[in-house]
């Protein structure tokens, strides 16, 4: 199991969330576009990147990687309170920590490109605020457990 409370992982996941909201893209598409090299760069430099407001950092990364926008807007679709980017970063970071058994960046890529991305990003469901062990077990079992 990977170390808990990895601040670089938390920031990287929060930044992915911010870029997704800015560009109106599924988080999986942000990760796909950045690729392993881009995610590695963000993860390795998180301690420096977090010194600026996350919105500015997101804009800088979007420009540097020439990321294009889309039409996915889970914030606009939300019928209830929308969690902030830090809350969502924490959900993803905890899941990645809980299921990592190899390189953390490879695990991040695997989590974001799996089925769970659409479940976590659905702010109209209760999934994203379930206990971390529930979310991790759902990921491991490739299903949403009845609760």
Q: What is the pLDDT of residues 93-110, one digit of tens each?
A: 999 999 998 799 999 999
Angstrom distances, CA of residue 118 to CA of 30, 55, 64, 74, 99 = 13, 23, 26, 10, 18
Q: How far is residue 127's CA from residue 112's CA, in Å, rounded to a whole number? A: 15
Number of domains into which the chain is organized: 1
Domain that holds residue 110: 7-141
pLDDT confidence band for 144 (50 / 70 / 90):
low
The percent of residues above 70 in pLDDT, for the chain, comes to 94
Pull the structure tokens for residue 24.
Answer: 């109106």
Give the residue-averaged pLDDT of 83-96: 95
pLDDT number for residue 147: 40
Residue 74: inside a domain = yes
146 within domain boundaries: no
Which pTM was predicted? 0.91
- The answer to whether position 111 is within a domain reads yes
Which pLDDT band, with edges at 50, 70 and 90, does 146 fall under? very low
Those residues whose C-beta lies under 8 Å from the C-beta of residue 77, and which sit 6 or more positions away, are 123, 124
Enter the tokens of residue 77.
Answer: 């679709």
Model confidence band, residue 2 (pLDDT cutoffs 50, 70, 90): low
Q: What tokens were used for 54? A: 């996350």
């Amino acid at each position: 199991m990977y170390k808990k409370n990895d601040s670089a992982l938390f920031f990287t996941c929060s930044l992915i969330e911010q870029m997704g909201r800015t560009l109106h893209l599924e988080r999986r598409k942000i990760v796909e576009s950045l690729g392993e090299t881009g995610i590695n760069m963000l993860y390795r430099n998180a301690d420096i990147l977090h010194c600026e407001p996350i919105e500015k950092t997101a804009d800088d990364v979007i420009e540097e990687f020439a990321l294009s926008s889309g039409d996915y807007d889970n914030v606009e679709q939300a019928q209830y309170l929308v969690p902030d980017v830090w809350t969502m970063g924490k959900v993803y970071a905890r899941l990645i920590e809980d299921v990592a058994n190899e390189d953390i960046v490879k695990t991040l890529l695997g989590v974001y490109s799996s089925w769970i991305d659409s479940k976590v990003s659905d702010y109209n469901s209760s999934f994203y605020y379930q206990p971390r062990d529930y979310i991790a077990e759902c990921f491991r079992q490739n299903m949403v457990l009845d609760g």
